[in-house]
Amino acid sequence: MTLRPLAPERGGPLVLAIESSCDETAAAVLDGWRSLRSSVVHSQIPVHAQYGGVVPELASRNHVVAINDVVRRALAEADCRVDDLGAVAVTRAPGLTGSLLVGIEFAKGIGLVHDIPVVGVHHLAGHLMAPFLEVADGFAEPDWPFVGLIVSGGHTSLVLAEAPGRWTTLGRTLDDAAGEAYDKVSKRLGLGYPGGAVLDRLAQGGRPDALDVPRPMVRKPGYDFSFSGIKTWVANHLDATGIPDGETRADLVASFQEAVAETLVIKTMRAVRDTGVRRVVLSGGVAANSRLRSYMRERCAKKGIDVVAPPLSLCTDNAAMIGAAGYEAAWTAIESGSGFVTHDLDASSSEPLDRSPRDAA
């Protein structure tokens, strides 16, 4: 049975969405949970690249500087004004506390001044809903239920999604996220931050079977991940052999990428088998990785499993996905006619998706 939220897919009241959980300041305007009017993302990569990773204090300060202009641009691209909005949806968890608070307080300010409701959204719910806004070429259409693989610099999780807001976390990383491993390997090789895109390009010229890189935890039961060991394996290899260049470097990167992709796919296919669900949603920043996309499609095709993925623009953090995940709660609040209300809007740095209240996911 196909499950749909009560909110309209298109043509509903305008909802402004704000995302500031880490190092992107983003805003979007939607008029339905599958209808995007505008999306603006301000990246802080130049701010953090010199440090090889996100510096929390710098991230929150940059959000303060950027958020007003980002929201203004999103409204202009949607051809609307703040007075036209019916509600605001904002990321409330998880993320960097200082960064989250910038978005939350800005959203509350709009809600209070214009007497419209403000709803909180779990960041991971946003990633799961991203493909409902747009599907990448060559992938299946989204529907319910599905097994969601969320892979990014801060998160690696497997989730059973039975309906909007009905999430069950099956497994998560016990230490480093997959994207974090990419960044640290890239930094060790002197290739800069962020590492995902540069390593993906470099791997195209290498042999994925050149080195016997471990596949962490694939022989252990369950769905949890661990990527600290694979990062350490690369570091130990470089300590023993030195920093490679040319084909040798490409071989190392391709072998590392193959190990990460295979680990993610093996765990996902295990969840598909055990739950009996016949659809996989691939999301998060690392979902843009070309090898992970192709490997997941290859393995799922053999089992007759549909694979859904958003376009690259909706893989990394953005406010459009926050609007998609929060639109139903916004619709409910708008329909109540209560004006300015907030729904569980205390920032949380590490709240599990399962604990997110129904009206905030």
Each residue's pLDDT tens digit, 273-287: 999 999 999 999 999
pLDDT attached to residue 342 = 85
Would you give the distance in Å from CA 79 to the centre of its chain? Answer: 27
Look at residue 358 in the predicted model and tell me its pLDDT. 38
Whether the pLDDT of residue 359 is over 70: the answer is no
Q: Which two tokens stand for residue 124?
A: 């991971």
When the pLDDT of each residue in the chain is averaged and rounded to a whole number, the result is: 94
Q: What is the pLDDT of residue 195?
A: 94
Q: Tell me what pLDDT residue 22 has.
A: 96
Is the CB of residue 318 less than 8 Å from the CB of residue 19? yes
Tens of pLDDT, residue by residue over 167-213, are: 999 999 999 999 999 999 999 999 999 999 999 999 999 999 999 99
Q: What confidence score (pLDDT) does residue 132 get?
A: 97
Q: What are the residues whose beta carbons fall under 8 Å from the beta carbon of 115, sequence distance 6 or more?
A: 339, 340
Confidence of residue 4 (pLDDT cuts 50, 70, 90): low
pLDDT at 1: 34
Residues 90-113, mean pLDDT to the nearest whole number: 97
The fraction of the chain above a pLDDT of 90, given in percent, is 92
Cβ atoms within 10 Å of 337's Cβ, excluding its own: 7
What pLDDT digit, counting tens, does each position of 216-229 carry? 999 999 999 999 99
* Better-predicted residue by pLDDT, 65 or 341: 65
> Within 13 Å, how many C-alpha atoms sit on residue 215's CB side?
14
Q: What are the structure tokens assigned to 191, written together?
A: 């290739």
pLDDT at residue 354, as a whole number? 86
Cα–Cα distances (Å) from 28 to 129, 211, 351, in that order, read 14, 43, 24
Question: What is the percent of the chain where pLDDT is above 70?
Answer: 96
pLDDT in tens, 269-321: 999 999 999 999 999 999 999 999 999 999 999 999 999 999 999 999 999 99
Enter the tokens of residue 48. Answer: 């953090």
**What span, in angstroms and rounded, lies between the C-alpha atoms of 284 and 294?**
16
Domains, the chain, in order of start with CATH, read 14-128+315-360 (3.30.420.40), 135-309 (3.30.420.40)
Pick from 288, 270, 280, 282: nearest CA to 304: 280
Q: For residues 252 and 302, give the distance between their C-alpha atoms in angstroms, rounded to a whole number.
A: 28
